[in-house]
C-alpha cells in the first residue's frame, strides 16, 4: 500500500469513527453536511474521493479542528514526486504566478485528460500511479479557485496547441476549450508565442515563477528527470529577464484568445 493510499484509508476510517462517535447515522449526518447518504456511504467505502469542500464541512460538523483538511493536504503532498514538493510549497504561498510553457500546456491549465496523456508518456509509470499524479495535478490547480485565487500569467508556444495528431483531436478540443475558459477568467491571463516568431528566449525551456506577498520570488525549472527550485539572486535575475523577453514577444490577451479560437474552429 502506497503513502497516498494509507492517507486515504486514514481519512475514511476517521470519517466513519467520528460520525459514529457523534451518534449520527449516514442519513442524519448527510442532512447536517448537506450531502446525500449515498455519497456519504461511497466516501466511507472508498468508492468516491471526498472533495475539499466535503472535508471542510465534515470538519465543521464533527468539530475536528481542521483534521480532515490537514490530512487531505498531507495526502496531496505525498502524491507529488519528492523533488517537486519544495516548489509546491512556494506555489501555494504565491500571490502571483508567471509561467512559460514551451512545448506543452502548463500543468496549472491542463485538463485531466491532457495531464493523463502527458503522464502516460513515461512508460515506467503504472496506471495507478498515473491516476494518482492526475489527481495531484488537479488538486494543485485549486490555487486558482476560491475567494482569493493566485493571479496567473501564462505564456505558451502556439505549437503546443496544434498537436491534433491521430487519436488526439478529442483530447485537444477539450484542452483548448478549457484553456479558453481559463483565459477569460479575470485573474488568469494567457498569451501565445506565435509560430512565425522564430528564435526566442522561451526556447531555453519551460519555467514558472512565484511571487509571495512578502515580496520574494521563487522559480522552478522542469527537466527530463525532475525539476529544480531556483531561489538564489543570480538565478532569479536570469529567469526574470527570460520572462520579460517571452512576455514581450507574446501576443496580447485578446489576440491570444482569438488565436486559440481560430486553432479550435476546424475541429469543432
Which pLDDT belongs to residue 167? Answer: 83
88 and 54 belong to one structural domain: no
117 and 68 belong to one structural domain: no
236 and 183 belong to one structural domain: yes
CATH of the domain at 25: 1.10.260.40
Which pLDDT belongs to residue 2? Answer: 42
Q: Checking DSSP bridges between strand 151-157 and strand 188-193, what pairing results, if any?
A: parallel
Q: Which domain-ending residue is among 55, 77, 99? A: 77
Q: Which domain-ending residue is among 77, 110, 132? A: 77
46 and 154 belong to one structural domain: no
C-alpha to C-alpha distance for 87 and 39, rounded to whole angstroms = 34
Sheet of strand 217-223, all strands in order from the earlier edge strand to the far edge: 188-193, 151-157, 94-101, 207-212, 217-223, 226-230
86 and 119 belong to one structural domain: yes
Which pLDDT belongs to residue 189? Answer: 97
CATH of the domain at 126: 3.30.870
201 and 227 belong to one structural domain: yes
Q: Which residues contact 32 (CB under 8 A, 6 or more apart)?
A: 24, 61
Residue among 183, 178, 177 nearest 153 (CA): 183
124 and 231 belong to one structural domain: yes
38 and 163 belong to one structural domain: no
Which pLDDT belongs to residue 8? Answer: 79
42 and 87 belong to one structural domain: no
Q: Checking DSSP bridges between strand 94-101 and strand 151-157, what pairing results, if any?
A: parallel
Which pLDDT belongs to residue 144? Answer: 93
C-alpha to C-alpha distance for 89 and 195, rounded to whole angstroms = 34
106 and 204 belong to one structural domain: yes
The count of domains in the chain is 2
Q: Which domain-ending residue is among 43, 77, 111? A: 77
Which pLDDT belongs to residue 185? Answer: 96
Which pLDDT belongs to residue 3? Answer: 40
Q: Checking DSSP bridges between strand 151-157 and strand 207-212, what pairing results, if any?
A: unpaired
C-alpha to C-alpha distance for 67 and 118, rounded to whole angstroms = 33
Which pLDDT belongs to residue 234? Answer: 93
152-179 burial code (b ≥16 CB/10 A, e <16)? bbbbbbbebbebbeeeeeebbeebbebb
C-alpha to C-alpha distance for 206 and 221, rounded to whole angstroms = 7
Range of the domain at 143: 82-267
Residues in the chain with pLDDT < 50?
1-5
Could you tell me if 243 and 179 are in contact, meaning their C-beta atoms sit under 8 angstroms apart?
no
Task: Dig out the grid coordinates for 219 from the structure.
Answer: 522559480
Which pLDDT belongs to residue 152? Answer: 97
Residue among 89, 53, 76 nearest 218 (CA): 89
171 and 129 belong to one structural domain: yes
103 and 17 belong to one structural domain: no
What's the predicted TM-score (pTM) here?
Answer: 0.72
Which pLDDT belongs to residue 31? Answer: 95
Which pLDDT belongs to residue 147? Answer: 85
Amino acid at each position: 500500500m502506497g503513502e497516498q493510499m494509507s492517507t486515504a484509508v486514514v481519512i475514511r476510517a476517521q470519517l466513519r469513527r467520528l460520525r459514529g462517535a457523534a451518534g449520527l447515522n449516514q442519513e442524519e449526518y448527510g442532512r447536517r453536511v448537506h450531502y446525500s447518504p449515498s455519497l456519504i456511504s461511497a466516501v466511507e467505502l472508498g468508492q468516491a474521493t471526498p472533495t475539499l469542500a466535503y472535508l471542510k464541512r465534515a470538519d465543521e460538523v464533527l468539530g475536528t479542528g481542521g483534521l480532515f483538511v490537514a490530512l487531505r493536504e498531507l495526502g496531496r503532498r505525498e502524491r507529488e514526486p519528492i523533488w517537486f514538493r519544495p516548489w509546491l510549497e512556494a506555489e501555494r504561498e504565491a500571490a502571483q504566478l508567471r509561467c512559460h510553457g514551451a512545448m506543452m500546456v502548463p500543468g496549472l491549465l491542463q485538463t485531466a485528460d491532457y495531464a493523463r496523456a502527458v503522464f502516460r508518456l513515461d512508460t515506467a509509470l503504472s496506471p495507478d500511479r498515473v491516476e494518482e499524479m492526475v489527481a495531484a495535478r488537479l488538486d494543485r490547480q485549486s490555487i486558482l479557485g476560491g475567494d482569493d485565487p493566485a493571479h496567473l500569467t501564462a505564456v505558451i508556444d502556439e505549437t503546443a496547441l496544434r498537436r491534433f495528431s491521430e487519436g488526439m483531436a478529442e483530447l485537444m478540443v477539450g484542452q483548448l476549450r478549457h484553456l479558453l475558459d481559463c483565459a477569460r477568467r479575470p485573474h488568469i491571463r494567457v498569451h501565445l508565442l506565435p509560430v512565425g516568431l522564430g528564435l526566442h528566449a522561451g526556447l531555453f525551456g519551460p519555467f514558472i515563477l512565484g511571487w509571495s506577498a512578502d515580496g520574494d520570488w521563487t522559480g522552478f525549472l522542469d527537466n527530463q528527470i525532475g525539476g529544480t527550485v531556483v531561489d538564489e539572486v543570480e538565478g532569479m535575475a536570469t529567469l526574470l529577464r527570460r520572462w520579460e523577453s517571452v512576455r514581450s514577444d507574446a501576443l496580447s490577451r485578446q489576440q491570444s484568445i482569438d488565436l486559440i479560437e481560430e486553432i479550435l474552429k476546424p475541429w469543432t
